[in-house]
Structure 1
Amino acid sequence: MKEKIRIFLDTDLLEKYLLGTTTQEESMQVERYIAMYPEVRKTYDELQENLETFAKLYALKTPEGLKERILSRIKAQNTGRRKFQRYAIAASIAALLFAGSSYFFWNQNQNLQDENVIVNNKIKTLEEDMKEQLEDVRNQFIVLNNPQTKKYTVNGNKKAKELKAVAYINPVKKLSYINVRSLPNLPDNQCYQMWAEVNGKMVNLGVIKNVDDKDRLRPLPYAENAVGYITIEPQGGNDTPTVQNIVANISY
């Protein structure tokens, strides 16, 4: 059990929870650990205290001697109870203004931290997307220009005679792509969907929305003796292929 708690505390989930950047699932896990384990509760309280201390360090402090100066002026005036009350109210308002300013700057600092986390996450996501896109472009270049790439023409069956596609398979680099060049029209409630049977498992490759870009290459999972299919499915796609609606086979 102690090992389980140590592993949890070694993560940054408590810090992220305090900053409000955890997912719903992560928040539930943190709240469960805080409720179940005193060690986690203690660490959480310490982190919370440290955060409050940090906020106070950046908060605006009331100028030294302000209270004494106000009281001195009140005594010097000595013009009765009404003026004393006015100065007391003024002192209270001043204190509230400084307290409000302190909270404002602390809150601004928190917002900046949150925004910094969001921006960093977006940058990381963009970097990952760019890396995937560059990798895909590199693989397409290899497939199209490598002399060991094999090219297969794919034609539709009787249900889709106008279907034309070209499959590119490179057994050395273990890369596979398909270029769907033409598709027969379908009713609005149907669509074409691609599948690949890899190592005995059927992989959903998604709906073919259109073929406006006839030069587009769609990646296929590579495996020896793999088989690809194009089927007609209900609009939006299906979880499993409708075998009787197979309109093209792609063997590679």
Structure 2
Amino acid sequence: MMDRKKILDEGLLEKYLLDELNTSDRDYIEHALKTDKELLQKFSELEEDFEKMAFENAIPPPPQVKTKLKEQLDTKKARKLSNSPLLVAASLGVLFLLSSIWMYTKWQNTRAEFELLQNQTTALQERLNTLEENYVLTNTRLKTINSPKTIPLVLYSNEAAPNSRAVAYINHESKMVHVNAQGLPMLPKDKTYQMWSDVDGEMIDMGVLKTDEELISLKYIDKAESLNITIEPAGGNDHPTVANLIAYVTL
């Protein structure tokens, strides 16, 4: 059984006023209005608001409403004169109800358009935030690689990937490593480039390289003797495939 909150939240009073409820719900609303004074007060205010909005805004109903009403009036012209006041009152009531329904529909459409605009505004704000974050990150990286204490290193490829290269930027003071791998050829989707640091003969993973990004941040490894790039399965490997070594540089 519905309660007052459900009736108000689901707009059942408005639907009752506009005769949009089924028989069961309509009977329930009528019973609720008889037993709930606060609900009755809300309904009375709603009736007054609809009537006030209809007359103050003087919203003309769609042409088909007037046409149908005229047809109804023409059909009933043969009625007795004594019935004319009732007919006029009923016609005005129908006109008012149809005008109210039309106005309510317009209001619903306007609200939907407003919600759509809000969603678009939120999406735009999120996009702007992302762009701002990317700008800050890129600006920070550029300042870092342009620092006098940053060392640029070119990793030229071997015969496995001729005419290819990657550039690594290392700052030992800030322990930063950025790599531009856009000079490397594209790989199939099931393969990726991975960089390794050679420390006392042990190859330590620095991270996966992406060829579609200008600068990639990798892990800084202390006491590295060289930087090495291999081709590994997509997602990276836990150990280097030495046979797939394509580029390296000695530090």
Q: TM-score range by the shorter chain?
A: 0.5 to 0.7
User: CA shift at 1:131, angstroms?
Assistant: 2.5
CA distance 1:217–1:171, shift in 2 (3 Å): farther
Amino acid at match of 2:217: L
The residue aligned with 2:51 is 62
1:206-245 superposed matches below 5 A: 206=210, 208=211, 217-225=214-222, 229-231=229-231, 238-240=234-236, 243=241, 244-245=243-244
TM-score, L = length of structure 1:
0.52
The residue aligned with 1:195 is 194
Give the match's secondary structure for 2:81. Answer: coil
Does the CA-based 8 Å contact 2:156-2:249 persist in structure 1?
Answer: no
Does the CA-based 8 Å contact 2:206-2:219 persist in structure 1?
Answer: no
The residue aligned with 2:162 is 161
The residue aligned with 1:20 is none
Q: Distance in 2 between matches of 1:97 and 1:83?
A: 21
Give the match's secondary structure for 1:118. Answer: helix
Residue identity over aligned pairs, in percent, reads 14
Tell me whether 1:247 sits opposite 2:239 in the alignment: no
User: CA shift at 1:141, angstroms?
Assistant: 2.3
CA distance 1:84–1:218, shift in 2 (3 Å): same
User: CA shift at 1:61, angstroms?
Assistant: 1.9
1:163-182 superposed matches below 5 A: 163-180=164-181, 182=183
CA RMSD after TM alignment: 4.7
Q: Distance in 1 between matches of 2:216 and 2:161?
A: 22
User: CA shift at 1:143, angstroms?
Assistant: 1.4
1:61-80 superposed matches below 5 A: 61-63=50-52, 79-80=81-82
Q: Distance in 1 between matches of 2:228 and 2:100?
A: 70
CA distance 1:45–1:194, shift in 2 (3 Å): farther
Does the CA-based 8 Å contact 2:166-2:182 persist in structure 1?
Answer: yes
Q: Deviations over 1:141-165 (max 9, x none)?
A: 2212x22212222121231232223
Give the match's secondary structure for 1:223. Answer: coil
Give the match's secondary structure for 1:61. Answer: helix
User: CA shift at 1:140, angstroms?
Assistant: 1.4
Which of 1 and 2 has greater Rg? 2
User: CA shift at 1:170, angstroms?
Assistant: 1.0
CA distance 1:166–1:239, shift in 2 (3 Å): closer
Does the CA-based 8 Å contact 1:60-1:102 persist in structure 2?
Answer: no
1:60-209 superposed matches below 5 A: 61-63=50-52, 79-81=81-83, 84-85=86-87, 87-144=89-146, 146-180=147-181, 182-183=183-184, 193-196=192-195, 203-206=207-210, 208=211
